[in-house]
Amino acid sequence: MKVRVLGSAAGGGLPQWNCGCANCARARAGDPFVPPRSQPSLAISADGARWSLLNASPDVRDQLAKANGLWPRAGTRDVPLDTVVISNADLDHVLGLLVLREALPHRIVTTAWIRDALLDHNAAFRLLAPAFHAVKLDEAIFLDRDETLEARLFPVPGKAPTWLAQLVPNAPEATLGLRVCDRRSGRRLVYAPGLRALDSGSWAELAAADLRFVDGTFWSDDELQRLRPAAPGAVQMGHLPIGGRDGSLARLSLLPGRTLYTHLNNTNPVLDARSSEAAEVRALGVEIAMDGMELEL
Protein backbone atom coordinates (compact mmCIF):
# COMPACT_ATOMS: atom_id res chain seq x y z
CA MET A 1 0.00 0.00 0.00
CA LYS A 2 1.27 3.44 -0.92
CA VAL A 3 0.28 6.49 1.09
CA ARG A 4 0.73 10.16 0.24
CA VAL A 5 0.00 12.92 2.75
CA LEU A 6 -1.88 15.47 0.66
CA GLY A 7 -2.42 17.88 3.55
CA SER A 8 -1.31 17.71 7.19
CA ALA A 9 -2.85 20.87 8.70
CA ALA A 10 -6.27 21.10 10.34
CA GLY A 11 -9.01 23.34 8.92
CA GLY A 12 -7.65 26.76 8.04
CA GLY A 13 -4.26 25.41 7.01
CA LEU A 14 -0.93 27.05 7.80
CA PRO A 15 -0.89 30.00 7.52
CA GLN A 16 -4.61 30.52 8.14
CA TRP A 17 -5.86 33.61 6.31
CA ASN A 18 -7.06 35.47 9.42
CA CYS A 19 -4.48 34.26 11.96
CA GLY A 20 -1.50 36.19 13.25
CA CYS A 21 -0.22 33.55 15.70
CA ALA A 22 3.52 32.93 15.83
CA ASN A 23 3.36 29.87 13.53
CA CYS A 24 1.20 31.60 10.93
CA ALA A 25 3.44 34.67 10.93
CA ARG A 26 6.56 32.55 10.50
CA ALA A 27 4.99 30.40 7.77
CA ARG A 28 3.99 33.58 5.89
CA ALA A 29 7.52 34.93 6.22
CA GLY A 30 9.02 31.75 4.72
CA ASP A 31 10.67 30.47 7.92
CA PRO A 32 12.19 27.09 6.92
CA PHE A 33 11.35 25.59 10.33
CA VAL A 34 7.62 26.35 9.98
CA PRO A 35 6.77 25.38 6.39
CA PRO A 36 3.24 26.06 5.08
CA ARG A 37 0.77 23.17 5.23
CA SER A 38 -2.50 22.53 3.44
CA GLN A 39 -5.76 21.20 4.89
CA PRO A 40 -6.15 17.55 5.88
CA SER A 41 -6.29 14.66 3.42
CA LEU A 42 -4.49 11.42 2.58
CA ALA A 43 -4.23 9.56 -0.72
CA ILE A 44 -3.77 5.78 -0.72
CA SER A 45 -3.17 3.26 -3.45
CA ALA A 46 -2.66 -0.48 -3.77
CA ASP A 47 -0.33 -0.16 -6.76
CA GLY A 48 0.59 3.50 -7.31
CA ALA A 49 -1.58 3.54 -10.43
CA ARG A 50 -5.09 4.07 -9.05
CA TRP A 51 -5.80 6.08 -5.89
CA SER A 52 -8.40 6.82 -3.25
CA LEU A 53 -8.68 9.85 -0.99
CA LEU A 54 -9.40 9.95 2.71
CA ASN A 55 -11.40 13.17 3.01
CA ALA A 56 -11.51 15.96 0.45
CA SER A 57 -10.12 19.24 1.77
CA PRO A 58 -10.79 22.68 0.30
CA ASP A 59 -7.16 22.55 -0.92
CA VAL A 60 -7.69 19.39 -3.00
CA ARG A 61 -7.20 21.14 -6.33
CA ASP A 62 -3.63 22.20 -5.47
CA GLN A 63 -2.96 18.91 -3.67
CA LEU A 64 -3.82 16.89 -6.79
CA ALA A 65 -1.81 19.21 -9.01
CA LYS A 66 1.26 18.28 -6.92
CA ALA A 67 0.53 14.51 -6.87
CA ASN A 68 1.51 13.24 -10.31
CA GLY A 69 0.04 9.77 -9.67
CA LEU A 70 -3.37 11.43 -9.62
CA TRP A 71 -3.10 13.38 -12.85
CA PRO A 72 -5.51 12.62 -15.72
CA ARG A 73 -4.19 10.42 -18.50
CA ALA A 74 -2.70 12.58 -21.29
CA GLY A 75 -5.29 13.73 -23.80
CA THR A 76 -8.23 12.49 -21.69
CA ARG A 77 -10.33 13.42 -18.68
CA ASP A 78 -9.68 10.01 -17.18
CA VAL A 79 -8.41 10.44 -13.60
CA PRO A 80 -7.14 7.39 -11.66
CA LEU A 81 -9.36 8.15 -8.65
CA ASP A 82 -11.61 5.33 -7.40
CA THR A 83 -13.04 6.36 -4.03
CA VAL A 84 -13.23 9.34 -1.68
CA VAL A 85 -13.99 8.28 1.90
CA ILE A 86 -15.43 10.91 4.25
CA SER A 87 -14.76 10.52 7.99
CA ASN A 88 -16.96 13.36 9.21
CA ALA A 89 -18.87 16.32 7.82
CA ASP A 90 -16.54 19.07 9.06
CA LEU A 91 -16.08 21.57 6.27
CA ASP A 92 -12.30 21.03 6.07
CA HIS A 93 -13.06 17.36 5.18
CA VAL A 94 -15.91 17.81 2.69
CA LEU A 95 -15.59 21.12 0.81
CA GLY A 96 -13.16 19.45 -1.59
CA LEU A 97 -16.01 17.22 -2.79
CA LEU A 98 -17.44 20.31 -4.48
CA VAL A 99 -14.03 21.14 -5.95
CA LEU A 100 -14.04 17.65 -7.53
CA ARG A 101 -17.54 18.04 -8.93
CA GLU A 102 -16.75 17.74 -12.63
CA ALA A 103 -17.65 14.36 -14.17
CA LEU A 104 -17.50 12.40 -10.88
CA PRO A 105 -15.47 9.35 -11.92
CA HIS A 106 -15.20 8.38 -8.23
CA ARG A 107 -17.50 7.04 -5.52
CA ILE A 108 -17.99 8.97 -2.28
CA VAL A 109 -18.14 6.47 0.58
CA THR A 110 -19.45 7.48 4.00
CA THR A 111 -22.27 6.74 6.45
CA ALA A 112 -25.89 7.56 5.69
CA TRP A 113 -25.78 10.07 8.58
CA ILE A 114 -23.00 12.08 6.91
CA ARG A 115 -24.47 11.74 3.41
CA ASP A 116 -27.89 12.93 4.59
CA ALA A 117 -26.38 15.77 6.63
CA LEU A 118 -24.62 17.04 3.51
CA LEU A 119 -27.46 16.53 1.03
CA ASP A 120 -30.41 17.59 3.22
CA HIS A 121 -28.92 20.88 4.37
CA ASN A 122 -26.72 22.00 1.48
CA ALA A 123 -28.30 22.25 -1.94
CA ALA A 124 -24.90 22.46 -3.69
CA PHE A 125 -23.93 18.99 -2.44
CA ARG A 126 -26.99 17.52 -4.22
CA LEU A 127 -24.97 17.82 -7.43
CA LEU A 128 -22.93 14.93 -6.03
CA ALA A 129 -25.86 12.74 -4.93
CA PRO A 130 -25.34 10.00 -7.55
CA ALA A 131 -21.75 9.44 -6.43
CA PHE A 132 -22.60 8.72 -2.77
CA HIS A 133 -22.39 5.17 -1.50
CA ALA A 134 -23.56 4.86 2.11
CA VAL A 135 -22.07 2.17 4.35
CA LYS A 136 -22.85 1.00 7.86
CA LEU A 137 -20.30 1.11 10.65
CA ASP A 138 -17.82 -1.71 10.24
CA GLU A 139 -19.19 -2.75 6.84
CA ALA A 140 -16.40 -3.90 4.52
CA ILE A 141 -15.91 -2.02 1.27
CA PHE A 142 -13.14 -2.12 -1.30
CA LEU A 143 -11.47 1.15 -2.15
CA ASP A 144 -9.96 -0.07 -5.41
CA ARG A 145 -11.37 -1.93 -8.40
CA ASP A 146 -9.03 -4.89 -7.87
CA GLU A 147 -10.41 -5.34 -4.34
CA THR A 148 -6.99 -5.22 -2.71
CA LEU A 149 -7.67 -2.49 -0.15
CA GLU A 150 -10.48 -3.44 2.20
CA ALA A 151 -11.77 -0.56 4.30
CA ARG A 152 -14.12 -0.19 7.27
CA LEU A 153 -15.36 2.90 9.07
CA PHE A 154 -15.45 2.67 12.85
CA PRO A 155 -16.93 5.14 15.36
CA VAL A 156 -14.61 7.32 17.43
CA PRO A 157 -15.47 9.71 20.28
CA GLY A 158 -16.05 13.02 18.57
CA LYS A 159 -18.21 16.03 18.09
CA ALA A 160 -20.73 16.73 15.33
CA PRO A 161 -19.67 19.62 13.09
CA THR A 162 -20.57 23.05 14.48
CA TRP A 163 -22.55 23.93 11.37
CA LEU A 164 -24.78 20.85 11.92
CA ALA A 165 -25.22 21.11 15.69
CA GLN A 166 -28.61 22.88 15.53
CA LEU A 167 -29.86 20.75 12.62
CA VAL A 168 -29.21 17.07 13.37
CA PRO A 169 -28.65 15.17 16.65
CA ASN A 170 -25.16 13.72 17.03
CA ALA A 171 -24.73 9.97 16.41
CA PRO A 172 -21.96 7.35 16.39
CA GLU A 173 -22.06 7.54 12.57
CA ALA A 174 -21.01 11.22 12.63
CA THR A 175 -17.32 10.91 13.58
CA LEU A 176 -15.33 8.02 12.22
CA GLY A 177 -11.95 6.48 11.93
CA LEU A 178 -11.00 4.47 8.85
CA ARG A 179 -9.19 1.14 8.84
CA VAL A 180 -7.66 0.00 5.54
CA CYS A 181 -6.30 -3.52 5.24
CA ASP A 182 -4.11 -4.62 2.33
CA ARG A 183 -5.39 -8.12 1.53
CA ARG A 184 -2.04 -9.16 -0.02
CA SER A 185 0.04 -8.51 3.09
CA GLY A 186 -2.53 -8.20 5.88
CA ARG A 187 -0.95 -4.85 6.81
CA ARG A 188 -3.24 -2.21 8.25
CA LEU A 189 -3.49 1.55 8.10
CA VAL A 190 -5.75 3.55 10.42
CA TYR A 191 -6.69 7.19 9.82
CA ALA A 192 -8.34 9.05 12.71
CA PRO A 193 -8.18 12.81 12.11
CA GLY A 194 -10.87 13.68 14.71
CA LEU A 195 -10.63 11.96 18.08
CA ARG A 196 -11.90 13.43 21.32
CA ALA A 197 -10.76 10.58 23.57
CA LEU A 198 -9.02 7.21 23.34
CA ASP A 199 -11.90 4.92 24.27
CA SER A 200 -11.44 1.15 24.22
CA GLY A 201 -12.80 0.77 20.66
CA SER A 202 -10.60 3.40 19.04
CA TRP A 203 -7.61 2.28 21.10
CA ALA A 204 -8.04 -1.31 19.85
CA GLU A 205 -8.18 -0.06 16.24
CA LEU A 206 -5.07 2.07 16.67
CA ALA A 207 -3.18 -0.67 18.47
CA ALA A 208 -3.91 -3.21 15.71
CA ALA A 209 -2.59 -0.92 12.95
CA ASP A 210 0.89 -1.07 11.44
CA LEU A 211 0.66 2.56 10.35
CA ARG A 212 -1.59 5.11 12.04
CA PHE A 213 -2.39 8.75 11.36
CA VAL A 214 -3.88 10.33 14.46
CA ASP A 215 -5.56 13.61 15.39
CA GLY A 216 -2.77 16.02 16.33
CA THR A 217 -4.87 19.18 16.17
CA PHE A 218 -3.75 20.69 19.47
CA TRP A 219 -0.82 20.28 21.82
CA SER A 220 -2.76 21.54 24.87
CA ASP A 221 -6.41 22.00 25.77
CA ASP A 222 -6.17 25.80 26.20
CA GLU A 223 -4.17 26.49 23.04
CA LEU A 224 -6.84 28.59 21.31
CA GLN A 225 -7.79 30.40 24.51
CA ARG A 226 -4.30 31.88 24.71
CA LEU A 227 -5.01 33.60 21.39
CA ARG A 228 -8.70 34.34 21.94
CA PRO A 229 -9.94 34.02 25.57
CA ALA A 230 -13.54 33.17 24.57
CA ALA A 231 -12.43 30.23 22.37
CA PRO A 232 -13.48 26.67 23.30
CA GLY A 233 -11.02 24.11 24.67
CA ALA A 234 -9.53 21.36 22.49
CA VAL A 235 -11.62 18.52 23.96
CA GLN A 236 -14.76 20.64 23.69
CA MET A 237 -13.93 21.00 19.99
CA GLY A 238 -13.59 17.22 19.63
CA HIS A 239 -9.78 16.90 19.71
CA LEU A 240 -7.71 15.12 22.34
CA PRO A 241 -4.54 17.18 22.92
CA ILE A 242 -1.12 15.62 22.26
CA GLY A 243 0.77 16.81 25.32
CA GLY A 244 0.44 16.44 29.06
CA ARG A 245 -0.13 13.49 31.36
CA ASP A 246 -3.56 12.72 29.82
CA GLY A 247 -2.56 13.60 26.26
CA SER A 248 -2.44 11.14 23.38
CA LEU A 249 1.37 11.07 23.07
CA ALA A 250 1.91 9.26 26.37
CA ARG A 251 -0.25 6.37 25.16
CA LEU A 252 0.43 6.31 21.42
CA SER A 253 4.18 6.17 22.03
CA LEU A 254 3.65 2.73 23.61
CA LEU A 255 2.39 1.21 20.36
CA PRO A 256 4.60 -0.70 17.93
CA GLY A 257 4.58 0.25 14.25
CA ARG A 258 4.57 3.76 12.91
CA THR A 259 2.50 6.63 14.34
CA LEU A 260 2.13 10.06 12.72
CA TYR A 261 0.26 13.09 13.98
CA THR A 262 -1.75 14.87 11.32
CA HIS A 263 -4.65 17.38 11.19
CA LEU A 264 -2.36 19.86 12.98
CA ASN A 265 -3.87 23.21 13.89
CA ASN A 266 -1.76 26.23 12.99
CA THR A 267 -1.42 27.14 16.69
CA ASN A 268 0.22 23.81 17.55
CA PRO A 269 3.81 24.29 18.78
CA VAL A 270 4.91 20.99 17.15
CA LEU A 271 4.65 22.78 13.79
CA ASP A 272 7.90 24.54 14.68
CA ALA A 273 10.47 21.84 13.98
CA ARG A 274 12.81 23.38 16.59
CA SER A 275 10.26 23.57 19.44
CA SER A 276 10.66 21.52 22.61
CA GLU A 277 7.23 20.00 21.93
CA ALA A 278 8.30 18.72 18.48
CA ALA A 279 11.46 17.32 20.09
CA GLU A 280 9.35 15.55 22.74
CA VAL A 281 7.21 13.89 20.04
CA ARG A 282 10.27 12.74 18.10
CA ALA A 283 12.05 11.50 21.23
CA LEU A 284 9.12 9.16 21.90
CA GLY A 285 9.32 7.69 18.40
CA VAL A 286 6.21 9.41 17.03
CA GLU A 287 6.30 11.40 13.78
CA ILE A 288 4.71 14.60 12.58
CA ALA A 289 3.16 14.26 9.12
CA MET A 290 4.24 16.65 6.40
CA ASP A 291 2.52 17.64 3.16
CA GLY A 292 3.83 15.61 0.24
CA MET A 293 5.24 12.84 2.47
CA GLU A 294 5.13 9.40 0.82
CA LEU A 295 5.06 6.14 2.78
CA GLU A 296 4.88 2.45 1.92
CA LEU A 297 3.17 -0.19 3.99
Site string for Zn ion, 81-100 (x = CB under 5 A): ---------x-x--------
Distance CA 104, CA 215 (A): 29
Residue 270 as a binder of Zn ion (CB under 5 A): the answer is no
Least distance in angstroms from the C-beta of 19 to Zn ion: 3
Residues that bind Zn ion (rule: CB under 5 A) add up to a total of: 7
Taking the least distance from each CB to Zn ion, the nearer of 148 and 217 is 217
Q: Is 113 helix (H, G, I), strand (E, B) or coil?
A: helix
Which region among 18-26, 104-112, 269-277, 284-292 touches Zn ion (by CB under 5 A)? 18-26
- DSSP annotation of 220 reads S
Taking the least distance from each CB to Zn ion, the nearer of 92 and 223 is 92
Tell which one of 206, 266, 268, 286 touches Zn ion (CB under 5 A). 266
Q: Is 59 helix (H, G, I), strand (E, B) or coil?
A: coil
Strand 107-110 and strand 81-85: the pairing is parallel
- Cβ partners under 8 Å of residue 112, min gap 6: 134, 173
Distance CA 240, CA 253 (A): 15
**Single-letter code of the amino acid located at 95:** L
Taking the least distance from each CB to Zn ion, the nearer of 59 and 92 is 92
The dihedrals phi and psi of 181, each to the nearest 5 degrees, come to -115, 130
Which region among 5-13, 110-118, 169-177, 205-213 touches Zn ion (by CB under 5 A)? 5-13
Residue 24 as a binder of Zn ion (CB under 5 A): the answer is yes
Taking the least distance from each CB to Zn ion, the nearer of 29 and 74 is 29
Distance CA 144, CA 186 (A): 16
Residue 21 as a binder of Zn ion (CB under 5 A): the answer is yes
Q: Is 6 exposed, middle or buried (0-12, 13-18, 19+ CB in 10 A)?
A: buried
Which region among 79-87, 155-163, 264-272, 289-297 touches Zn ion (by CB under 5 A)? 264-272
Residues in a beta bridge with 35: none
Least distance in angstroms from the C-beta of 256 to Zn ion: 27
Residues forming the site for Zn ion (CB under 5 A): 11, 19, 21, 24, 90, 92, 266
